[in-house]
Amino acid sequence: MKILRRTLIALTTAALLGAGAVGSAAAADVKSRMIRFGYGLAEDTNQGRATKRFVDEVAKLSDGKLKVRAFGAASLGSDVQMQNALIGGAQEMMVGSTATLVGITPEMALWDTPFLFANEKEADAVLDGPVGQKLLDKLQEKGLVGLVYWENGFRNLTNNKRAVNSLEDLGGIKLRVMQNNVFLDTFRTLGANAIPLSFSELFTALETQAVDGQENPFNTILTSKFYEVQKYLTVTNHVYSPWVMLASKKWWDKLSKDEQDILMQAARNARDFERQDTREEAARALGELEGKGMMVNTLTGDEVQRMREKIEPITQKVAADVGAELWNEVQQELARVRAQ
């Protein structure tokens, strides 16, 4: 009788999971596992809060069998170091920048294209649509499993030299950028002295004046306390940056389908929370940064247009590097979203 009951539970659960409905730990094939999950910002940030949500969702959906242990503030290493640890199987999961993945999967440079997205609606639609999925799938051949995209956000400039009211004001500013050629080329073309550094080195580089400035979303400027070491903030919204949640393929392929389904559902739940939380925080961050004493200005439409025209060759190079098919597909996706 007991065998029959267990079989019935297993069959029912398998049917539920097969239909995409993730079952609880009654799920037939969920082992007790500890999962190390690394991220680069501090715990009390949008990235940290969303990671906590992921931890909680995994515990709930697996009834505590799958335990995610979060390691924040780059305690497991920089994004590049963690990406390599996942490829080697020395770490199970992380969330970090897509920009540092370009050395592994060149097509990820698509998300570094200046002014690609005009708003979050376009970003969500493209990242969660066929083009976004195609780039996640490409990671598999390099030993990474891309689960979902989170929102880092629209990036803006800070520096300690001067207010940036025109492109000429960028001249000679030692500007930290992510370790990524599109960002390097973009800001060199705009006249800045672009210097690639990992995020974990950034605050110290600003504090010691090894660099004069950087560019990040309002959320990061606020929660990483850049206002303590930066005077001027210029609103440019020059690019939308996603984060991507990754798993080691070596590790992921050893999981059961039930376990993979649980992690994917938890990742989607955490993504939806993260985007809402990030946008709510971004809406109040600029005012808080002014309250912290930052001198805030917004680049005029004419100057933004001058910026777009000056870096057009960068956009054309991204289009060539990612390939005409992918570039045209993302343009068609954008046209579809903009027509709604």
Which residue of the chain is nearest ligand KDG when measured via CB? 40
Beta carbon of residue 279, minimum distance to ligand KDG (angstroms, whole number): 16
For residue 276, the minimal CB distance to ligand KDG (Å) is 19
Binding of ligand KDG at residue 83 (CB under 6 A)?
A: no
Determine which residue in the list 23, 40, 48, 77 makes contact with ligand KDG, applying CB under 6 A: 40
The conformational region for residue 64 under phi > 0 = left, psi -120 to 50 = alpha, else beta, is left
| Least distance (Å) between residue 9 CB and ligand KDG | 41
Q: Is 241 in the site for ligand KDG (CB under 6 A)?
A: yes
Residue 69 vs 338, nearer CB to ligand KDG: 69
Sign of CA dihedral 202, 204, 207, 212: negative
A 10 A CB-CB count for 226 gives 22
Contacting residue, 81, 97, 269, 278, with ligand KDG by CB under 6 A: 97
Q: Which is nearer to ligand KDG, 154 or 199 (CB)?
A: 199
Q: How far is the CB of 85 from ligand KDG (least distance, A)?
A: 14
The sign of the CA dihedral 221, 223, 224, 225 is: positive
Q: Choose, by CB under 6 A, the member of 79, 151, 169, 281 that binds ligand KDG.
A: 79
Instruction: Quote the tokens at residue 199.
Output: 């995020």
Query: Residue 220 CB, nearest distance to ligand KDG (Å)?
Result: 6
Please count the residues of this chain forming the interface with ligand KDG, following the rule CB under 6 A: 12
182 binds ligand KDG (CB under 6 A): no
Residue among 96 and 143 whose Cβ is closer to ligand KDG: 96
Please state the closest distance from residue 152 (CB atom) to ligand KDG, in A. 5
Q: Could you give the CA distance from residue 193 to residue 173 in angstroms, rounded to a whole number?
A: 6
Of the candidates 93, 126, 178, 255, which one interacts with ligand KDG according to CB under 6 A? 178
Cβ-contact 35, 260 below 8 angstroms: no
Residue type, 208: T
Quick check: 41 binds ligand KDG (CB under 6 A)? yes
Spatial distance between the Cα atoms of 214 and 230, rounded to a whole number of angstroms = 9
Residue 12 beta carbon to ligand KDG: minimum distance, rounded to whole angstroms: 40
Q: Is 152 an interacting residue with respect to ligand KDG (CB under 6 A)?
A: yes
Matching residue, tokens 């715990």: 43
Closest to ligand KDG by CB, 40 vs 132, is 40
Smallest gap from residue 233 Cβ to ligand KDG (A): 15
User: Does 216 interact with ligand KDG (rule: CB under 6 A)?
Assistant: yes
Q: Which two tokens stand for residue 181?
A: 């050629």
Q: Does residue 199 interact with ligand KDG by CB under 6 A?
A: yes
Buried b (16+ CB within 10 A) or exposed e, 94-124: bbbbbbbbbebbebbbbbbbbbbbeebebbb
Per-residue burial over 227-240, b = 16 or more CB atoms within 10 Å of its CB, e = otherwise: bebbebbbbbbbbb
Phi/psi of residue 31, nearest 5 degrees:
-90, 165
Q: By the criterion CB under 6 A, which residues form the site for ligand KDG?
A: 40-41, 79, 96-97, 152, 178, 199, 216, 220, 241, 243
